[in-house]
Amino acid sequence: MRASALIALFAGATCIALSPIWVRIADVGPTASAFWRVALAAPLLWAVAALAPRAASIVDRRRGALLLLAGLAFAGDLVFWHWSIQFTSVANSTLLANLASIFVTLAAWLLWRQKPTGMFLLALALALAGVGMLVRTSLEFSPRALLGDALGVITAMFYAWYLLTVKGLRDRGAATLQLMAVTTTVTAAILLPLALASGEVLLPASAEGWLILIGLAWVTHAAGQGLIAFALAHLPAAFSSVGLLSQPVMAAAFAWVLLGEQLVALQVAGGAVVLAGIYLARRGSKGTE
């Protein structure tokens, strides 16, 4: 196991765990922060892709439809997650968004008749039980928190769609860095009119506000996703699955330290059950991720 890949895995997870913190404290609206997240990251990703070994262009008729679908899926993922973070706790929002692994295998079952394993069915039962515990916690806070939980689940659906589409592009020979640059650009183009039409505050009011958005784009999106992509290429899949589960745990810890979000016992227990379900779902999947 390469030490550099191991470091990259946890560094990437840490970068992504900071995402909901920056979304919460940004002085622009949730849709606007989703737009800036990809718009500011795109130039950096194109610059890095230009330095990588030259690969064939992935922008052609054969892959064009999949690239558009990937952009639509990622746009939905970001918008629903950023809104979820506004309504519910960072812990709940992040845990529920990570249910994408469950939805990936469910999609493979429903669309391609890939029969799930017994381990996956156990994982599904655990995940549903954990979600029920998280929802129960939200009901004790406010209806807004329950709405945030629902948006978190929708986020997971969109991210599952994105993962399946990206898998299709990789199966067709798309290079990782170029794929990240193109899909990020497509996502920004989709989110710009949505941000303009939302009526939200679009531009930060201070230099600090811009720094938050740059952190969201460069640290979370570009560095976080890039480091994890590197790590996944050099680490065993089972180990990577466990390592990536540290991301929602770290997000909850950052929210506790930086935002003062306290966790109640039922929420901690529900989170542990959800994480167990996600882990077993990844172990029990049949190569759909």
What integer is the mean pLDDT of 90-118? 80
pLDDT at 23 over 90: yes
Q: What is the mean pLDDT of the chain?
A: 84
152-187 pLDDT, tens digit each: 999 999 988 988 888 888 777 777 788 889 999 999
Count of CB atoms situated within 10 Å of the CB of 32:
24
Minimal CA–CA distance to 138: which of 97, 98, 92? Answer: 92
Domain positions in the chain are 3-284
Minimal CA–CA distance to 136: which of 270, 25, 231? Answer: 270
Give the pLDDT confidence score for residue 58 in this predicted structure: 59
Give the pLDDT confidence score for residue 288 in this predicted structure: 46
pLDDT band at 9 (very low <50, low <70, confident <90, very high): confident
Alpha helices in the chain (DSSP H): 3-17, 19-25, 30-39, 41-51, 61-87, 90-97, 100-112, 118-141, 143-171, 176-198, 207-214, 225-232, 237-244, 246-254, 265-284
Give the pLDDT confidence score for residue 62 in this predicted structure: 64
pLDDT band at 126 (very low <50, low <70, confident <90, very high): confident
Q: Positive or negative, the Cα torsion across 26, 31, 32, 36?
A: positive
Give the pLDDT confidence score for residue 287 in this predicted structure: 46
At residue 109, the 3 state secondary structure works out as helix
How many angstroms separate the CA atoms of 218 and 202, rounded?
A: 19
**Token match 């497509």: residue?**
186
Which are the contacts of 169, defined by CB distance < 8 A and separation ≥ 6? 58, 63, 66, 67, 70, 179
Count of CB atoms situated within 10 Å of the CB of 245:
18
Query: Is residue 114 within 8 Å of residue 178, measured between CB atoms?
Result: no
What integer is the mean pLDDT of 106-128? 76
194-242 pLDDT, tens digit each: 999 999 999 999 999 999 999 999 999 999 888 887 777 777 655 666 6
DSSP state for residue 222 in the 8-state scheme: I
pLDDT at 56 over 80: no
Query: Is residue 105 within 8 Å of residue 281, measured between CB atoms?
Result: yes
pLDDT band at 191 (very low <50, low <70, confident <90, very high): very high
Give the pLDDT confidence score for residue 55 in this predicted structure: 57
Amino acid, res. 248: P
